[in-house]
Structure 1
């Protein structure tokens, strides 16, 4: 059963380490650390993706900034209570990590497969230039009754298709993780630059349960 659940959330990324390891938390004596990785897009711009890595997988006391790694695992979420609100925090929970000699051109450097359920009404809109976009929130089950809540964004004909989804509908998604900077207004005079993470969908399918 747990193997089946692990299969419903699969991520592989390859990129350049862009930070040192920062302590996150400990579970049953096992320490977990955060590290950022820059992953190239086809356009040569980069996504800055946070990884959560166990101290048992790699020597987290070392600084690997600038080195290339391949990491695979799951895209996970948790709610952090922030400014009287819950904030959805997303990161790649790493199960395997290896070093690469160099960045592979044209390789699939950022892939994600999700199998989950629509848990919020899709939001469909058009940009001023007429591009179609749909935002989805996908609940992906995890062992022990937990779920990860993953924001996904669809474009073009996929957006039009996704706009018709109902809450509770079972879907499968293939895409890539992307980062996006935005400015959060904290007060009349104060703003803060933040980064949001979402899955940019390349393929999606509605499943018959």
Structure 2
């Protein structure tokens, strides 16, 4: 049962560590730390993806900045309570980490597969330039009755297709994790720069149950 649940949320990223480890939380005496990984895009830009690592997986006292890693794990979410609201925090939970000498140009550095349920009415829209976009929120089950809530963004024909999905339908998604900067209004006239994380969808299918 547990293996089947783990199969519904699979991530592989390859990139460069660009920050120090920062303590996140502790469970049953095991400490978990956050570190940022810079993952290249095909377009010469990159995404900064937050990675959650157990202190039993890596020596979190070490400085690994500049080191290249290949990470397999899951894309996870939790709600952090701030300013009287819940904020969805997303990160890649590392199951395995391997140091690599360098990244091959041909290697797929950012892949994700999700199998979950539509938990919010998809939002389909067109940009001023006519590009079709749909936002989908996918609930992906985890062991022990937990779920991860993963925001996904679809484009073009996929967006039109996803716009017709109903809450509760089961959906498989393939794509990549991307980071996106945006300005958040805090207070009357104050803006704060934040980073949102989401799955950019390359393929999706509804699953008949």
TM range (shorter): over 0.9
1:12-161 to 2 correspondence within 5 Å? 12-161=12-161
Q: Distance in 2 between matches of 1:83 and 1:113?
A: 33
TM-score by length of 2: 0.99
Partner of 1:204: 204
Q: Distance in 2 between matches of 1:118 and 1:106?
A: 33
Gaps of 5+ in 1: none
Give a deviation string over 1:5-54, Cα, whole Å, max 9, x none: 00000000000001010011111111000000000000010000000000
Q: Does the residue aligned with 2:202 lie in a helix, a strand or coil? A: strand
Q: Does the residue aligned with 2:3 lie in a helix, a strand or coil? A: helix
Give a deviation string over 1:182-208, Cα, whole Å, max 9, x none: 000001221110000000000000000
- Aligned residue pairs, count: 209
TM-score by length of 1: 0.99
Q: Does the residue aligned with 1:3 lie in a helix, a strand or coil? A: helix
Q: Distance in 1 between matches of 2:105 and 2:37?
A: 17
Partner of 1:169: 169
Partner of 2:187: 187
Deviates more, 1:147-156 or 1:95-104: 95-104
Q: Does the residue aligned with 1:116 lie in a helix, a strand or coil? A: strand
Q: Distance in 2 between matches of 1:58 and 1:89?
A: 22
Which ranges of 4 or more aligned residues in structure 1 deviate by more than 3 Å? none
Q: Does the residue aligned with 2:144 lie in a helix, a strand or coil? A: helix
Q: Does the residue aligned with 2:26 lie in a helix, a strand or coil? A: strand
Q: Distance in 2 between matches of 1:83 and 1:107?
A: 41
Q: Could you tell me how far 1:106 is from its partner in structure 2?
A: 2.2
